Structure 1
Amino acid sequence: MTPTNPAGGPTSFVLVHGAYHGGWCWSRVRDLLQDRGHRVYTPSQTGCGDRAHLLDERITIDTFVEDITALILAEELHHVVLVGHSFGTRTVVGVADRIPNQLSHLVFLDGGFPTPGQSRLEVMTPAQREARIKSAQESSGGISIPPPAPEAFGLSDPDDIAWVQRRLTPQPFGTDTSPQKLSHEIGNGLPCTYVRCIEPEFDGVGTAADYAQQRQDWSYLTITGGHDAMVSNPRAVANLLESLA
């Protein structure tokens, strides 16, 4: 039987990748969900993945939000389960701020949250900020940040590491330097689930995970797998997402 949303028709998932990744990182989860009858979209945001050829200094966090908003509106999707991994959580928050009526559930997979009205760079420590700016300048004249090794995303299987290594692309630096303006509280009143990847834990999302746990109106779950659990444990991720549809 094909799963349906409350308005009839198959459930639509839109899966948003994190920094240095592209829509490719969701391919294993996508295939599992599609085999179960769901509609699944895995777009690459501007300048990333298969759209890395569009990388330039004009890309901002608003560009990322517009990428996903435009997809949902162009495809006329409703009752969308919108999933953001890592940096993609910021994109999801922005989309929910703009078009909540198209969405049914937000899922934050090991992600960090924006500080409304501020850029990601502004909320870093001075040492982190200085290192980030230096990396961007030295690698690309300030346009992008080079990707770290795949092991930084909690991967240990040699085949997974090689697969991810071939696909990682620089992250547009403008997504770090541009402020994210929100008109509503994070989540915009929609059902929200935060999923923490726990084997191993990724230190960079500890503050966001703590915030999510304190939100009494949200669900908080854990999943076995490192930060890139959609690569290392796609079946568990697919099962969890399907349970929220």
Structure 2
Amino acid sequence: MSTGGWTNKNIDSLLTATGNNVYRPTLTGLGERVHLASSNITLNTHILDVVNVILYENLNDLVLVGHSYGGMVVTGVADSIPERIKKLIYIDAFLPEDGESVISITGTPVDSSLKIEKGLFYHDWIFAEQDPPKDVPHPVLTFIDDIRLNNPQRLEIPTTYILTVEKGKNPEDDDFFVHAERARKKGWPVLQLEADHTPERSAPEELVKMLQEIVTN
């Protein structure tokens, strides 16, 4: 959400050092693709961003990882091309059902209480005077669009959910606990990582260790 592939640079380095091939695509309008930001970017745009990386790089038997809003994206990708995906991992991420959106899941109304300009949502931690790399405004339609899931093969992909919980906090108070519970009800393993919502920045070594354990098991 509001970030780009750059935020996973440390994760990339750590995984590559152990012999993994890593792709960290940036979604349209975010990160180094911020110059493409517009009010016309939809959830499907972002799903196709990742689908096309997989198709044009001719990737198979891959481990697909989605973090935060990225859970919406990887769910759509898994529904589109499940045959390409060996394992699916959600990290403190949305786990939507058919017909849901970020807005419908969170119950947040799209109204004047949100800072929206030219179809882009500005989080309160985003400041124009910051130099790159940085988080940027996020296309609003990607939060509003309902996801459409039609392929039951998606549910056959071995999937793991990682819930990040800050030290001393109750997991049940975490914003993404409800999604971890959804995963649990589907019979998927749910792991807990002591970290804030952005473990790729705050706990990269611990996150990579957990990812490698999931991949090798």
Whether TM-score is above 0.5 comes out as yes
Alignment partner, residue 59 of structure 1:
41
- In the alignment, residue 31 of structure 2 is paired with which amino acid? G
Alignment partner, residue 101 of structure 2:
119
CA distance in 1, matches of 2:144, 2:117: 15
CA distance in 2, matches of 1:124, 1:243: 31
Helix, strand or coil for the counterpart of 2:93?
Answer: coil
Q: Where in structure 2 are the equivalents of 1:45-124 lying within 5 Å? A: 45-124=27-106
Alignment partner, residue 120 of structure 2:
144
Q: Does 2:26 align with 1:44?
A: yes
> 1:106, 1:187 within 8 Å by CA — same for their partners in 2?
no
1:153-174 per-residue CA deviation (whole Å, 9 max, x = no partner) reads xxxxxxxxxx999501011101
TM-score, structure 1 length as denominator?
A: 0.78
Helix, strand or coil for the counterpart of 2:22?
Answer: strand
Query: Aligned-residue CA RMSD in angstroms?
Result: 2.2
Alignment partner, residue 206 of structure 1:
177
Helix, strand or coil for the counterpart of 1:115?
Answer: coil
Alignment partner, residue 112 of structure 2:
134
> 2:89, 2:160 within 8 Å by CA — same for their partners in 1?
yes
Helix, strand or coil for the counterpart of 1:193?
Answer: strand
> 1:110, 1:195 within 8 Å by CA — same for their partners in 2?
yes
The Cα of 1:135 is off from its aligned counterpart by 5.1
Cα distance, 1:215–1:139 mapped onto 2, change above 3 Å:
closer
Helix, strand or coil for the counterpart of 2:181?
Answer: helix
Identity %: 29
Helix, strand or coil for the counterpart of 1:21?
Answer: coil
Alignment partner, residue 215 of structure 1:
186
Aligned residues: 208
The Cα of 1:187 is off from its aligned counterpart by 4.2
Helix, strand or coil for the counterpart of 1:188?
Answer: helix
- In the alignment, residue 235 of structure 1 is paired with which amino acid? E
Cα distance, 1:101–1:166 mapped onto 2, change above 3 Å:
closer
- In the alignment, residue 15 of structure 2 is paired with which amino acid? L
The Cα of 1:196 is off from its aligned counterpart by 0.6
- In the alignment, residue 145 of structure 1 is paired with which amino acid? F
Cα distance, 1:69–1:166 mapped onto 2, change above 3 Å:
closer
Stretches (4+) displaced over 6 A: none
1:13-55 per-residue CA deviation (whole Å, 9 max, x = no partner) reads xxxxxx1111111111110001111100111100111111111
The Cα of 1:88 is off from its aligned counterpart by 0.2
Q: Does 2:135 align with 1:168?
A: yes
TM-score, structure 2 length as denominator?
A: 0.88
Alignment partner, residue 231 of structure 1:
201
